[in-house]
Structure 1
Amino acid sequence: MSLSFIDAQLALVPELPSLIEQRYHLLKLIKLAGPIGRRPLSSMSGYSERETRTMLELLKEQGVVDVAKEGVTITPKGVEVLFLLHETIEERSGRRQLANELSQRLSIKEVHIVEGDSDRSELTKKLLGMHAAKQFRTQINDFKVVAVTGGSSVAAIPPFMQNDELSDLQFIAARGGVGEEIGLQANMIAASFAEACDASYKAFYYPDTLSEEAHAVFQHEPAAKEMLDLYSKTECVIHGVGNASKMALLRNSSENEQQILMDKQAVGEAFGFYFNRDGEIVHRIRTVGIQVEHLQNVPLIFAVAGGESKADALLSYLASAPPQTILVTDEGAAQKMLSLM
């Protein structure tokens, strides 16, 4: 039986795959965090300072990083190397197989898994943002109206969205603001997407505390009617998924409402809808925005959330999510989801 060229290489250098993965990992960190100093890079990567210094010298010699006073940065050649190696590294890591199994069991279009756990590393959240941005750029095609929700995972995407070819998009807030940190509200995130892509956006301000009567009146306001028209034209939705109890606290929900969520065993939340473990809607807040029933007619949907602590919430939402959903998550959430299933 004749050996392939790769087999021959491995016979002489059996440690080659692990060396490639180490340097790929370091290069990816530099792309995310650069310019970055050697010491913080060592801390983030888990390699010793000596190992980090040695790898940086090799990467510099190959022209994939620049080392300057302000820190290490990736070069255009380095970006190309990351792109070309991505598929192979994902295959070797086992994340591709895990993603395929999850997409089949959840009956959704695709699952993409990044390394790490967002609960333990802010860097993993950046990886979520970077990969979600990549998938968005790949699949947006000729769609024009994009609705985005609030939340830290969705907020991690715009820094990786720089692309002049997306300037004809219009980003809109999937719903009005809620009682969360201003930078994580849908309006601010829609503006961030638009700024990154040199595109347009439409903000929408809606107080969550309106009475039923005021809510009915507000829907006839010109601003609300304009947004409702845009929601009917939405071709892509990018959204997060929250833990039901945490979202209730963020919204300053009354004790009575929080008790209702507990009694009905709400686990996950998306778009102001609360879901139990079976994917059934058990509660909803009064709001003007993207409704769950809208999603069935939206051709491109990205659900972006990670961290082991989000596994229950993700399963509760995805149990009834539209089949065209693309999930971008991390290893922490993915492995926990599979174990719960």
Structure 2
Amino acid sequence: MNEMLDAQRKLVPEMMEIMQRRYRMLKYVKMAGPVGRRPLGEMASLTERETRTMMDSLKMQGLIHVAKEGASITSDGITVLHALEPMMDDWAGRKSIEKKLTELLGIKSVKVVSGNSDTDQTTKNSLGMEAANQFASEIGNGKVVAVTGGSTIASIPPFIEKSNDTKDVLFIAARGGVGKEIGSQANVIAASFAEKCEGKYSTFYYPDTLSEEAHEAFRKEPTVLEMLQLYETTDCVLHGIGNAQRMAAMRNASDNEQKVLQGEGAKGEAFGYYFNRAGKVVHRLRTVGIKMEHLQRIPLIISVAGGQSKAEAILSYMASAPKQTMLVTDEGAANEMLNLQKK
């Protein structure tokens, strides 16, 4: 494939640029459709005239359908996207980055989408779409799926296509908790997954601020015991990775707790655990949820996190992540991880 791409670049260099722009536009339509011309142009950083010309070309080829509510991708468009994806990733250098990161992190696989979530909201949607694709292709006979909170994991359900493989799946929160951002809570996200998959979900509310005595008493409640049993049978986890200091601040951690995290060199957070650069757990929230020992036996783990600012956090978690982990990230985080490793 590389030889063919090189030959095409030399013979018709402008062809690859045109194909990449149309491929990107088609992907945006799939991601946001039905979508109007103006927001589509903003996503693709094109003028209104350029957007209209490209939409006309895609429509003429039967790859998109344009109606009053906006443009939507057709079945032929989806087929073209899937067929071109390996070549476009290879041409853009993402295949090489994925291979390097997979070896560096020592995990099952890495998938890199274009862009940087720190500066481009559409990149976070690309992360959600790619994570949805990975989930759909790997879930198999999965029965209990645990999901964490956060805006990145919340971006996945809209891109999940209904399948008979997921109708019997039970979605649960990977960790009990309550918070102010309702849409980013694990319970709400679990319900969103269940709705898109026509599956089931079970809610689990657990305050982060319980005293040790209250925590021990709460663990004996029937609902908690039931959830603990579900964690033992979980066979898929979809989770995000957070920046340690940022997550501590969001959870209103005390000044003393934040100083401890800083002193211990905490870089990343997942499942209520805080990790230093070497992957060592330096602090843990008093809560009920998926534990690190659970992860070792769970066959399908999909980590989703992007943005250059998340690179150090991702590396800290991945330093001790189970080998069966699949990472979905973006170019911003991927390139920064490689740069940090060189240093």
Corresponding residue for residue 331 of structure 1: 331
**Distance in 2 separating the partners of 1:10 and 1:318:** 37
TM superposition shift of 1:6: 8.2
- Equivalent position of 1:223 in the other structure: 223
Contact map agreement 1:171 1:193 (CA 8 A) in 2: yes
Confirm or deny: 8 A CA contact 1:179 1:252 kept in the other structure.
Answer: no
* 1:148 partner letter: V
Partner of 1:267, secondary structure, is: strand
Q: Find the aligned partners of 1:30 and 1:234 in 2 and give their Cα distance.
A: 34
Residue 311 (structure 1) aligned with residue 301 (structure 2): no
Deviation of the 1:15 alpha carbon: 2.2
CA-to-partner distance for each residue in 1:55-82, whole Å, 9 max, x for gaps?
1111111111122233222112111111
Secondary structure of the 1:232 match is: helix
Counterpart amino acid of 1:324?
Q
Q: Which residue in the other structure is 1:29 paired with?
A: 28
Aligned-pair CA distance for 1:12: 5.9
- 1:277-334, Cα deviation, whole Å (9 max, x unpaired): 1111000010010011111111110110111111111011111111111000000000
1:42 Cα deviation after fit:
1.7
Instruction: Tell me, in whole angstroms, the C-alpha distance in 1 between the residues paired with 2:9 and 2:262.
Output: 56
- What is the CA–CA distance in structure 2 between the aligned matches of 1:152 and 1:235, rounded to whole Å? 23
| 2:237 counterpart SS class | strand
- Quick one: distance in 2 between partners of 1:174 and 1:132? 17
Q: Is the 8 A contact 1:178 1:251 kept in 2?
A: no
Q: Kindly state the Cα deviation for residue 116 of structure 1 after the two structures are TM-superposed.
A: 0.4
Q: Is the 8 A contact 2:8 2:16 kept in 1?
A: no
- Structure 2 Cα separation of the partners of residues 306 and 244 of structure 1: 15
Is the contact between residue 235 and residue 298 of structure 1 (CA under 8 Å) also seen in structure 2? yes
Given that residues 144 and 236 in structure 2 are in contact (C-alpha distance below 8 angstroms), is that contact kept between their aligned partners in structure 1? yes
Aligned residue identity for 1:72: A
Match of 2:91 in 1: 92
Report sequence identity in percent. Answer: 57
Query: Contact conserved, 2:5 with 2:91, CA < 8 A, in 1?
Result: no
Q: Is the 8 A contact 1:180 1:251 kept in 2?
A: no
Give me the whole-angstrom Cα distance separating, in 1, the residues matched to 2:190 and 2:182.
12
Q: Hey, what's the Cα distance between the residues in 2 that align with 1:6 and 1:164?
A: 35
- Backbone CA RMSD of aligned residues: 1.7
Which residue does 1:74 correspond to in 2? 73
**1:8 CA drift (Å):** 8.3
- Which residue does the alignment assign to 1:137? 136
Whole-angstrom distance in 1 between the partners of 2:219 and 2:249: 26
Report the secondary structure of 2:266's partner residue.
coil
Give the alignment of 1:246-285 within 5 angstroms: 246-285=246-285
- Contact 2:274–2:284, Cα closer than 8 Å, also in 1: yes
Give the letter for the 2:156 counterpart.
I
Q: CA 1:212–1:40 in structure 2 vs 1: closer, same or farther (change >3 Å)?
A: same
Please give the per-residue CA displacement for 1:64-106, whole angstroms capped at 9, x wherever unaligned.
1122233222112111111111111111111111011001011
* Aligned residue in 1 for 2:121: 122
Aligned partners of 2:317, 2:121: CA distance in 1, in Å?
Answer: 24
How far apart in 2 are the matches of 1:333 and 1:6? 26
Give unmatched runs, 5+ long, in structure 2. Answer: none
Amino acid of the structure 1 residue aligned with 2:160: M
